[in-house]
Structure 1
């Protein structure tokens, strides 16, 4: 695939720049393992410059209070994304290894629609609420509640669906009046840099309001969580890193948003079409090689239909296979890197050690790039590490249950609580079970929750706060109560 997108550059204080010391690191196509570009290896000076620019832009410009300006600029950015959609999609497939069919959903179209949605919300949002006149402590006062921008936001994003997560943070933060330093994962810096280029070249967003830095080193990026000039850290990634960010932000008591891992369960009740649920769940577990935090990777089925579910799931995965993400028929592409492939392979060997068996898959694919066979694991219970830990590969564990209560127990027996699904021939029964599952999102009988207007986030160790929807916009606001004599 030929990349027509300009070379990756950081955006610092309104200028597209290389790393201050000129260093770069390679960007690899995970489908081939070959280099497709170079990213600036951001330095401590670059990160410092971005933070200083964001602080200055928040404190010294009218960005945080000029709603009309923000609306105009965000509409310009939305149009720029539409105008450059084909190149952005091609870049995403090449850099992320994301199959093209996902561009109509989380890969591109939904996050771009989400930017428009939050801009529309900004136009109608009431930043002030009049509480009326009261006499607290006998003093007649008129009270007003104001919502104001948090301030400088450090947005730290992962590699799996970068445009979705970049825009789900940057859009609401800018709409709320915040200034932003975006730090993407070093596996996928180019799509973030391209977002920065569109801001610089196609919008009136003032210098310093939006910045992109691409250090490869976690140590260089860590200052975003500790610098007192940063008011909020918005992070999506692993639970382990989320804990570290929360701890690093604690001394300055920054506001922290965390969207973390998941080990979501798909439950088929005993009156469900188990074959249909098994096939759909296996399909879902293959999407983008299973590299999605909300993907259902545990299939919980009635014990008496266990063998059927395993067989259908295996047959589904075999029919899907792993294909070049540029292939129009691809569902499961490569995993992102050699490191991730090795991690998934280690889990597959652990499955055998724990007594599981592979109904299909179970191995790496010996070809250029970073490939794993879509895999169905049988014979393990929910206490196994394969059922408890997030793998982030095309791996589905099938677990038997003995009735509704047992299914709920298994689904909730997890450190995570991000998503899930329940299927039943009786929708009210499915809804009753769904009400008992401790997750931030859940699908009942095939319903779809993923939409710009729907809040997304998790319970337990899946995170703190919500992204998207009105709740996601309000993550970037503070509440101020003002009283004056009446």
Structure 2
């Protein structure tokens, strides 16, 4: 497979420097520089954003604290209207925002447009939830008093988001926090900060008051985050990222007994039974594996295929993967963009080399692409050993490793043989079997006969070391609220 022609940077038609105005604190731009944002397709510098220190982090908390009383007391309907305006503006600027994501992230334009649509939907969903926050009123069993439960905003929330979905990972946290009446400080990944800053301007235009949403970037995430988490006014941490970093943040949050939501790593099994609709399974596989070129925590990481359809599935998946066009995200013909960094390509290469040394057969791809940009081709590996490193670690790239199984019990055992439990995929035409297997899988989310599991209206999150809490759905807003119980006699 050959690498597609890289478009010159200027052909995108977007001036990225206009999104790099500084840190966004208290509704104002605080000028600064120091963090170069790289286009992974060309390795060109797109812009340079501000590099926050601990003082800037404390200033962001100050701004969130100053805005908190006013936002907390804003009527739910008024908060909802502002969130709906955010939704509308994001869709009006879909092409601009998608192009920005494709430039700083490398994501194919089709995926980037899908991300903006998905990200915007969180504002519409939580605009609806903002006016439906319910409490409780009932008689105590003893009859001595009434039990009143009032759901109140938890307080200032620190939100930390990754580089792979720079719009959706932010709105999935910001929308429920604002709907609940909380103010926030967002720290996006330094690899893809421009989208977060572009959206900060959009929120202000939509009517989000100054200080309700603050955005800072830094090359010193440890001390800068600690400065916020150790501030007694901060009462919530919501983090999406690796399990290793999540453990470190949980330890830091323990110092102030901070409420934590954690969406961490994954190792998703994709199970194909002999009775599956193979065409549907292949369609699902391409979505589950190749969304964002495999750089997703929900990406299918292990393809477990039953003996009877193994060779047929492997051959057909290889053909589909080989047909994908590799190139820069901004090229409309691109189906598989670059990885986020050269280090990411190095990791994928190491995992593939390890698998082949243990007996895996390369059906498609398997060799990094040379030249400018951080490209790795769509790859299919057959007969991968369960002892291979990629069976345990997230690949985070366009590599589909295939493993055989014979029985349903074996499939479940292999699927659950991981410390992670975020997403899983099951393909079978036997609905009874599908639901039974879904119930046995140790995963927070299971997609049955489909390759996409995420939905703003559903609870997103994992079990085991894949996280704590849920985002999305009615559960997402509850993460930003505390129940206050009042015992009343009258």
Could you state the TM-score of these two structures normalised by the residue count of structure 2?
Answer: 0.92
- 3-state SS of 1:435 partner: helix
1:455 aligns with 2:480: no
Correspondence 1:293-304 to 2 at 5 A: 293-304=297-308
Q: Give the distance between the partners of 2:116 and 2:211, measured in 1 at CA.
A: 25
Displacement after TM superposition at 1:298 (Å): 1.0
Distance 1:422 1:7, change over 3 A: closer
Contact conserved, 2:180 with 2:480, CA < 8 A, in 1? Answer: yes
Of residues 318-327 and 271-280 in structure 1, the stretch that sits farther from structure 2 once superposed is 271-280
Displacement after TM superposition at 1:206 (Å): 2.4
Contact conserved, 1:181 with 1:210, CA < 8 A, in 2? Answer: yes
Displacement after TM superposition at 1:179 (Å): 0.7
1:102 aligns with 2:111: yes
1:125 aligns with 2:128: no
Of residues 220-229 and 324-333 in structure 1, the stretch that sits farther from structure 2 once superposed is 220-229
Q: Give the distance between the partners of 1:163 and 1:480, measured in 2 at CA.
A: 33
* Aligned equivalent of 2:9: none
Displacement after TM superposition at 1:194 (Å): 0.9
Displacement after TM superposition at 1:124 (Å): 2.8
- 3-state SS of 1:252 partner: coil
Displacement after TM superposition at 1:274 (Å): 4.2
* Aligned equivalent of 1:111: 119
Displacement after TM superposition at 1:82 (Å): 2.8
Correspondence 1:342-353 to 2 at 5 A: 342-353=346-357
Q: Give the distance between the partners of 2:38 and 2:189, measured in 1 at CA.
A: 13
Distance 1:375 1:92, change over 3 A: same
Q: Give the distance between the partners of 1:366 and 1:447, measured in 2 at CA.
A: 31
Q: Give the distance between the partners of 1:418 and 1:90, measured in 2 at CA.
A: 29
Q: Which runs of 4+ in 1 moved over 4 A?
A: none
1:12 aligns with 2:18: no
* Aligned equivalent of 2:55: 45
Contact conserved, 1:239 with 1:462, CA < 8 A, in 2? Answer: yes
* Aligned equivalent of 1:335: 339
Q: Give the distance between the partners of 2:280 and 2:25, measured in 1 at CA.
A: 50
Contact conserved, 1:189 with 1:214, CA < 8 A, in 2? Answer: yes
* Aligned equivalent of 1:439: 443
Q: Give the distance between the partners of 1:61 and 1:270, measured in 2 at CA.
A: 59
* Aligned equivalent of 1:250: 254
1:206 aligns with 2:209: yes
- 3-state SS of 2:323 partner: helix
Unaligned runs of 5+ in 1: none
Q: Give the distance between the partners of 1:411 and 1:435, measured in 2 at CA.
A: 12
Contact conserved, 1:257 with 1:465, CA < 8 A, in 2? Answer: yes
Distance 1:385 1:447, change over 3 A: closer
* Aligned equivalent of 1:285: 289
Q: Give the distance between the partners of 1:438 and 1:7, measured in 2 at CA.
A: 42
* Aligned equivalent of 1:76: 85
1:54 aligns with 2:54: no
Q: Give the distance between the partners of 1:267 and 1:442, measured in 2 at CA.
A: 11
Q: Give the distance between the partners of 1:386 and 1:51, measured in 2 at CA.
A: 40
Q: Provide, for residues 193-228 of structure 1, a one-character-per-residue CA deviation record: whole Å limited to 9, x for no partner.
A: 11111223x133222211000112223433233333
1:34 aligns with 2:41: no
Distance 1:279 1:170, change over 3 A: closer
Q: Give the distance between the partners of 1:71 and 1:192, measured in 2 at CA.
A: 21
Contact conserved, 2:280 with 2:449, CA < 8 A, in 1? Answer: no
Of residues 394-403 and 425-434 in structure 1, the stretch that sits farther from structure 2 once superposed is 425-434
Contact conserved, 1:152 with 1:178, CA < 8 A, in 2? Answer: yes
Displacement after TM superposition at 1:306 (Å): 2.6
- 3-state SS of 2:131 partner: helix
Q: Give the distance between the partners of 1:417 and 1:423, measured in 2 at CA.
A: 18
Displacement after TM superposition at 1:249 (Å): 0.5
Q: Provide, for residues 342-389 of structure 1, a one-character-per-residue CA deviation record: whole Å limited to 9, x for no partner.
A: 222222222233332322111211121100011112222323221111
Displacement after TM superposition at 1:189 (Å): 0.6
1:318 paired residue among 319, 322, 346: 322
Of residues 335-344 and 152-161 in structure 1, the stretch that sits farther from structure 2 once superposed is 335-344
* Aligned equivalent of 1:67: 76
Displacement after TM superposition at 1:4 (Å): 4.3
Contact conserved, 2:266 with 2:422, CA < 8 A, in 1? Answer: yes
Q: Give the distance between the partners of 1:484 and 1:304, measured in 2 at CA.
A: 65
Unaligned runs of 5+ in 2: 1-11
Distance 1:64 1:431, change over 3 A: same
Distance 1:362 1:64, change over 3 A: farther
Displacement after TM superposition at 1:464 (Å): 0.7
Q: Give the distance between the partners of 2:49 and 2:426, measured in 1 at CA.
A: 43
- 3-state SS of 2:157 partner: strand
* Aligned equivalent of 2:172: 168
Of residues 273-282 and 238-247 in structure 1, the stretch that sits farther from structure 2 once superposed is 273-282
Q: Give the distance between the partners of 1:197 and 1:161, measured in 2 at CA.
A: 18
Displacement after TM superposition at 1:276 (Å): 4.9
Q: Give the distance between the partners of 1:448 and 1:392, measured in 2 at CA.
A: 16
Distance 1:75 1:446, change over 3 A: closer
* Aligned equivalent of 1:147: 151
Of residues 31-40 and 224-233 in structure 1, the stretch that sits farther from structure 2 once superposed is 224-233
Equivalences, count: 476
Contact conserved, 1:430 with 1:444, CA < 8 A, in 2? Answer: yes
